[in-house]
A and B are shown apart, each in its own frame.
Chain A
Amino acid sequence: MMVHRVTRLLLSSVALAVPAALSAQAFGLNEIGSCAVSRGYATTAAPCRDASTIYWNSAAATQLSGWNITAGGAWIAVKGSFTQDTTLRVWNADVPTSFIPHVFVNYHSPTSKLAWGVGVYVPYGLTSQWTDSFPGRFSAKKASLATIYVQPNVAWQITPKWSIGGGPIIGHSTVELIQGVDLSSQATSAGGPTFGQLGVAAGTEFARARLKGSAMGYGAQIAINGQPTPQWSVGARFLTPVDFKYDNADATFSQIFTGLIVGGTVQAPFTAGTPIDSLVAPQFRTGGSLVAQKASTKITHPAQIQGGLAYSGYKNWLLEADYAWIGWKRFDVLPVAFQGPASGSNRNLLESYNNSSAIRLGAEYTIPTDGWKLRAGFAGVASAAPPETVTPLLPEQDRTYWTFGAGIPIMHRWTLDGAYSHVATPGARGRIVERTSSTQTADQLNSGVYHLSANVFSFTLKASF
């Protein structure tokens, strides 16, 4: 007996991690600097006056003076649930609170047109986790992806009003995927029927698969910033896509006992009274399909383009509106390969993501007496996933962000920024099963409703000297 499709499921999990990773910014991975968070991420034209501008508009680093060190992090608490159509049963997600750090250093001599620095930030990442009973655990029980970009940066003031900037990106990404393996979809023998055709219910977990790997990737970010008038600022940035090839990921499997017993004789070895677990146990031993092996895949972190317009003509006020575009469409098809007994299951998985857009609005008021800055913002993001790709790994859907925060000067050189963001979604119909053919429609696949929301708390400490 061979288990043929187990690896396909794992492959699908790898593939599904892609949208999860990419869309993870929906859950706060735009959280790169508390000032930016509180301004609704509308910080490309008039970036926050700290070194996080290396990410938001690297050209504006010339507007800083001297050394600027910015460090902090965001705590992201995601709440999610899936309501099944047939039973109206609700499964809550079991996502731990995530911490997303950021560190930036910039130096700009007041007498120089050149600014330089480096940023370390997390633009993409996600942890999604569901309970053991969640019927979608065969797509994802847990998916964890964290990608850190290190961006050395150089900015040049080409005229008194205009600057350009940019730098290479060295990225490191780690991925861990845990999923159940569904016995019903496994073949009982080469070319033979599946266990499901012998009556085993879909969603019968007989193994748990774990994949863990890491990869390096390289890209760049460039930006331009200008102040055509004293009241108006404009800016734009372009972040290149970065390919991560996880060529040496570890895939391991552990048996989950089903307790099922063959209820009536079908054909040998499926005779009445035989424990199913004993029939599949050889797959976990040497020579079986469910042994430790290597796997590889490629996850492209998409390009981003963001442009904005800011106005500071009202006394003590700064207003900005940005438009952002993210190139999710790169994830239409994903090739994945196993380098072990499962190599026959190598395949291309369909994701069919679309490019997405976001509108970002932010405002900042400076209290003239003490220099406190009060900020608020709003952002709306259109879903990148088509209706047939709303999955447990990422129940992607339209999102709105409501943000506010404050910047508090501490002594002369220090400032503490704090921000809160609430991410709301309208809910979206989604699936808990694999999409095996491009002809399968959302109506055929989707079997329930996903709800998501998130609360983000961000703090950044910054120093200038």
Chain B
Amino acid sequence: MSRSHTVVRGALLLGAVGAMVACNSDTHLVVPPVADPIFQSYVSLGNSITAGYQSGGINDSTQRLAYPVLLAKQMGTRFAYPSLVMPGCAPPVNNFLTQTRVTLTGSAASTASTCLLRSPASVTAVINNVAVPGIASADPTAVVGPNANTLVELFLGGETMVQKALDAKPTFATVWVGNNDILQPALSGLPSTATPVATFVTNYAKTINALTAGAPSLKGVLIGVVQVAATPLMFSAQLLASPTVLAAATQVAGRPVTPDLVTCTGAGANSLIDFQYLTAIRARPAGFPGTVFCQKISGGGPTDLGDLLVLDPTEQATVTATINGYNAYIKAKADSIGFAYYDPNPTLAGLKATGAIPAFPNLTSAQPFGLYFSLDGVHPSGAAHVLITNDLIKIINAKYATSLVALPTS
């Protein structure tokens, strides 16, 4: 930028009064104000949903759709997330049936182990979205937690999640931790491997206490754990009575699928089957029957074809009770520290009740799990993030008397 030497400006400086006024006003120097002072520095802690994970992967395109990014825009506050170079780490699935992943033109086909690193432009001193896919309640206060993975390093860079959040000198925080304490146990049909409620309480308290100790004036929202058994990846065993569903299941499994007449009747009809049960059948040796067992057949455990990837009614009750235990504590903790509490389950249940989430994946659709869930059947899509954002806006406005404007919904 070229500028002629500024005699005129020098002369203007002779205006002593003007100069002194300039000394006393910063209005021309500061960035635009945020919607409310409590949003001056917003941080989001959490796991995959908060980080922007969709369709079994994460990249900049999915990260920018995450609810914290949307919420920050409504707050008018600066919000940096640890953007990943395209196609991502791992690149999201872009075709449900073929399970192909986002691949850049001219590059080798992406796989589940493909991992591009942080975008150089996203390397900043402070990031606001410190959520990391895969972490559970024991991780936010540990540098190398029990669920450490590559993204822990790429997003947190050797700090704990709480430290990273505190680096932003936060004035407002959302915390959505706990889904992974029970997600995989539920999906795998082995809920006994979930984090016990007592352990969860200890872990969760440690995280929130560390966060609030580092930012005593912090405001925010604690978000409850999703009833993971209700994710669209799980379908009711009753649906196997439908020829249409059986045909679709057969297509996925690569061989005729039949429900086991013994275990899939009675209480077993109310079991929930993980869709991955069908892909597991496909992976079996040729000649192996495509039978779906809806209850334990050999004492249970990961080798029991009626237990692995199956949630029988008893196990469903265990999952529900565990999550209720988690959420009771999260709400109590929110109350105790003056935070708002958000339970996402009514919204998600409402989607299911209205049929917005199909009971069984629609294999002929580009959106087999519906508009609100991505191609992995677990993680919300961009449309669901908008709903979550609007729910949060309602709760924040009610709790803190702010005036955040809701996003338009599709």
Instruction: Give A contacts to B, CB under 8 Å.
Output: 85-89, 135, 184-185, 193-194, 196-204, 258, 260-266, 270, 272-273, 276, 323, 325, 352, 354-359, 361, 378, 380-382, 386-388, 398-400, 402, 424-429, 442, 449
Contacts and interface: CB of A to CB of B under 8 A. Distances in A.
Given A261-B158, A427-B29, A354 B3 contact: yes
A386 B120 CA distance: 26
A265 B153 contact: yes
Contact of A200 (B2, B148, B157): B157
A197 B120 contact: yes
B5, B30, B115, B119: residue with the most chain A Cβ atoms closer than 10 Å:
B5
B200 to A, nearest CB: 22
Contact of B10 (A184, A381, A428): A381
Nearest to B152: A264
Given A198-B118, A355-B4, A380-B19, 4 more contacts: A199-B155, A388-B1, A425-B23, A428-B29
Contacts of B169: 87, 89
B124 A201 contact: yes
9 contacts: A87-B126, A184-B123, A200-B158, A204-B157, A263-B159, A264-B144, A273-B144, A400-B13, A427-B26
Contacts of B144: 261-264, 272-273
Interface in B1-41: 1-7, 9-14, 16, 19-20, 22-23, 26, 29-31, 40-41
A201 B125 contact: yes
B362 interface: no
A304 to B, nearest CB: 13
A262 B150 contact: no
A196 B13 contact: no
A444 to B, nearest CB: 10
B269 interface: no
B82 A199 contact: yes
A135 B156 CA distance: 19
B123 A424 contact: no
B13 A263 contact: no
A423 B123 CA distance: 37
B124 A202 contact: yes
A261 B5 contact: no
Nearest to B78: A86
A449 B30 contact: yes
List the 6 shortest-distance A-B pairs measured between CB atoms, nearest first. A380-B13, A260-B158, A196-B123, A199-B157, A264-B152, A426-B22
Contact of B153 (A198, A358, A388): A198
B120 A354 contact: no
Interface of B: 1-7, 9-14, 16, 19-20, 22-23, 26, 29-31, 40-41, 78, 82, 85, 115, 117-120, 123-127, 143-144, 148-159, 164, 167-169
A400 B29 contact: no
Contacts of A199: 82, 118, 153-158
Contact of A264 (B119, B120, B150, B167): B150
A399 to B, nearest CB: 8
Contacts of B5: 325, 354-357, 382
Given A87-B168, A356-B6, A264 B148 contact: yes
B243 to A, nearest CB: 46
A101 B78 CA distance: 47
B57 to A, nearest CB: 16
Nearest to A427: B29
Contact of B30 (A85, A263, A425): A85
B10 A359 contact: yes
B123 A263 contact: no
A399 B149 CA distance: 53
A382 B9 contact: yes
B29 A449 contact: yes
Contacts of A442: 1
A213 B143 CA distance: 42
A266 B115 CA distance: 9
Contacts of B159: 201, 260, 263
Nearest to A441: B1
Contacts of B127: 201
A361 to B, nearest CB: 7
B148 A263 contact: yes
Contact of B9 (A203, A398, A402): A398
B11 A380 contact: yes
Nearest to B89: A266
